[in-house]
Amino acid sequence: QVLIKDLYRNTESFVGQKVELSGWVRTIRDSKTFGFIELNDGSFFKGVQIVFDEQLDNYKEITKFPISSSIKVEGDFIHTPQAKQPFEIKAMAIILEGSSNVDYPLQKKKHSFEYLRTIAHLRPRTNTFSAVFRIRSLASYALHKFFQERGFVYVHTPIITGSDTEGAGEMFRVTTLDLDNLPKNEEGKIDTTQDFFEKESNLTVSGQLNAEAYALAFRNVYTFGPTFRAENSNTARHAAEFWMVEPELAFAELPDVMNLGEDMVKYVINYVLEEAPEEMNFFNSFIEKGLLERLEQARTADFGRVTYSEAIEILKNSGENFGYPVEWGLDLQTEHERYLCEKVFKRPLFVTDYPKEIKAFYMRLNEDGKTVAATDLLVPGIGELIGGSQREEREEVLLQKIKDLGMNEEDYWWYLELRKYGGTKHSGFGIGFERLIMYLTGMTNIRDVIPFPRTPGNAEF
Ligand code: 4AD
Ligand code: MG
């Protein structure tokens, strides 16, 4: 058996050959004496045309194959370099493997993305989702390739954890306690020591703290795994379960990881453009006009860089009404972020040195005592794609911060020890993998770049 991908990539080698294919019927039409099947086998974005005629014993039966039936085809490879399709298969035998029901929902008509979410088990068979999920696969490989080529060690950080890395309290509890009969301690609180892990545990929001421990042993490491947030934000850019890539570098300062992030984004763009030109052209034609131009610019131009304080001035002087106040000390909203990278800088933009109050406890305090060495990478169409920082390596400064925020010092004993035993400057970031896929494809809803999305009220499939 051959794959359709090979027919497209090595066309010349099939001239004059007999081939055997298997796949699903995408479309089928016939006249009295001959017919055409567009066959898709999943190996390639495009299908192949099968020509069949009444010389086949089962001609009548074939003309009645419902769309999406799975079939096996034997035939001659016919080279047609002048035609729109560079080749077709002249069938000598067509065998039905599995028929399809006539109520198959993906008939040849355009369906809305909203509708297709309700049939998440079937949508990978459509052009759009076939393209999205092949890009998702290629982009994840490209990220591994990028870090491995640079000698980074891939660390598997735990999914179940006792620490809240971001300190935002947006975690899913993991418990084996009987919810109808919760054990209580003397204070009347739930006695978590009776739980499986003998302490309260949650699904991880980020692997960063564990990655820091490994960076202080391997120097350069990265994670790539699922993370979970119980934030009830029903937006097109937030999911309850999403994948994050988190590099962490010892002996590195903030600009080092900004450079790394810029190189990484450019590398992945190059990789998908090279490996999946058919899919990328499809997105450019049908999902976002101008996508290829936008990616070409990101791939070649230097990303912008601006401090948070400068960004606030720009936003204040813009004369725009964003619907959210702009004031030094307030966090940037998506509207602000998109205005900065889309209208002012017109390219991906690193914003740095945010007020310490709006950022996580582990970020390194700057000399001014007011800001931290943090950065967000903002990109057109999305807003925040990357969040990162230099980490607070000074034990006493970190401890004070943990106390000031009323966090439980004991929970962080091991994290504090990293500062005690050969601590060093170190920095890292996290990139939201789904947001990267949205950025690469022009898809505008995070639900449409995750095979089976988990968002508030949605755990079907
Ligand atoms: O900015 P965040 O919260 O940073 C961290 O978690 C750090 N510990 C990362 C680090 O320095 N190692 O999240 C990082 C990125 C965001 O920039 C965003 O792209 C994505 O993760 N993200 C989400 N993506 C989808 N749905 C959500 N609910 C997301 N929350 C964050
Ligand atoms: Mg962030």
Render pLDDT for 316-341 as a digit per residue (tens, 0 to 9). Answer: 999 999 999 999 999 999 999 999 99
Q: Looking at the predicted complex, does its ipTM rise above 0.85? A: yes
177 DSSP 8-state letter: S
Q: Mean pLDDT, to the nearest integer, of 170-185?
A: 94
Residue 170 has pLDDT above 80, yes or no: yes
pLDDT at 271: 98
Residue 108 has pLDDT above 90, yes or no: no
Q: How far is the CA of 377 from the centre of ligand 2 (A)?
A: 9
Count Cβ neighbours within 10 Å for each residue of 24-58 and write b for 16 or more, e otherwise.
bbbebebeeeebebbbbbbebbebbbbebeeebee
Secondary structure class of 309 (helix, strand, coil): helix
Binding site membership of 383 for ligand 1 (Cβ less than 6 Å): no
> In degrees, to the nearest 5, what angle opens at C-alpha 202 toward C-alphas 197 and 204?
125
The ligand 1 atom at the shortest distance from the C-alpha of residue 238 is: 26
Phi, psi of 292 (to 5 degrees): -65, -35
Residue 292 CA, distance from chain mean position: 19
Give the helix/strand (H/E) hosting 53: strand 48-53
Render pLDDT for 116-135 as a digit per residue (tens, 0 to 9). Answer: 999 999 999 999 999 999 99
Residue 195 has pLDDT above 80, yes or no: yes
Q: Find residue 72's DSSP bridge partners.
A: 22, 95
Render pLDDT for 15-63 as a digit per residue (tens, 0 to 9). Answer: 999 999 999 999 999 988 999 999 999 999 999 999 999 999 999 999 9
Phi, psi of 20 (to 5 degrees): -125, 130
* Dist CA 99 CA 218 (whole Å): 54
**Identity at 167, one-letter amino acid code:** G
Quote the strand ranges of 80-155, DSSP E. 87-98, 153-154
Binding site membership of 120 for ligand 1 (Cβ less than 6 Å): no
Binding site membership of 157 for ligand 1 (Cβ less than 6 Å): no
Binding site membership of 430 for ligand 1 (Cβ less than 6 Å): yes
pLDDT confidence of 360, banded at 50, 70, 90? very high
**Identity at 396, one-letter amino acid code:** E
Binding site membership of 265 for ligand 1 (Cβ less than 6 Å): no
Binding site membership of 387 for ligand 1 (Cβ less than 6 Å): yes
Q: How far is the CA of 204 from the centre of ligand 1 (A)?
A: 12
Share of the chain above pLDDT 90, in %: 94
Binding site membership of 447 for ligand 1 (Cβ less than 6 Å): no
Residue 298 has pLDDT above 80, yes or no: yes
Residue 8 has pLDDT above 80, yes or no: yes
- Among all chains, which residue has been given the structure tokens 């939201």? 432
Query: pTM, whole model, 2 decimals?
Result: 0.97
pLDDT at 51: 98
- Greater confidence, 84 or 348? 348
* Dist CA 291 CA 283 (whole Å): 7
Which one of 227, 234, 242 would you pick to mutate in the ligand 1 pocket, going by the greatest count of ligand atoms within 8 A of its CB?
242
The ligand 1 atom at the shortest distance from the C-alpha of residue 431 is: 15
**Identity at 73, one-letter amino acid code:** V
pLDDT at 233: 84
